[in-house]
Structure 1
Amino acid sequence: MGMYISTVVGFFVVIMIAMSMFIHYLRVGLNSASSVKIDPKPTEKF
């Protein structure tokens, strides 16, 4: 029973670490504020 609990808890910890790394990648790597620096909004209207 102890081996089962430690396996489930370990697997849960690994999944939580992976999810936190994925969320960190989405928040830092896909920063929407940098899009304005690369391609600013045009000032002229056509």
Structure 2
Amino acid sequence: MGLYISTVAGFFVVLMISLAMFINYLRMGLNSHSSVEIDPKPTEKY
């Protein structure tokens, strides 16, 4: 029974770490501040 609990807990920890790394990867890749540097907002309105 102890082996089962430690296996499930270990898998859960690995799953949470990989999920946190994936969310951090998305936050860095989808940074909205870098879009202003690449394509600045136009100053003139038409």
Q: TM-score, normalised by structure 1?
A: 0.89
Aligned residues: 46
Unaligned regions of 5+ residues in structure 1, if any? none
* Corresponding residue for residue 23 of structure 1: 23
TM-score by length of 2: 0.89
**Which amino acid in structure 2 is aligned with residue 17 of structure 1?**
I
Using the aligned pairs only, state the percent identity.
Answer: 76
Gapped runs of 5+ residues in structure 2? none
Taking only aligned residues, the RMSD between alpha carbons, in angstroms, comes to 0.8
Runs ≥4 residues deviating over 6 A:
none
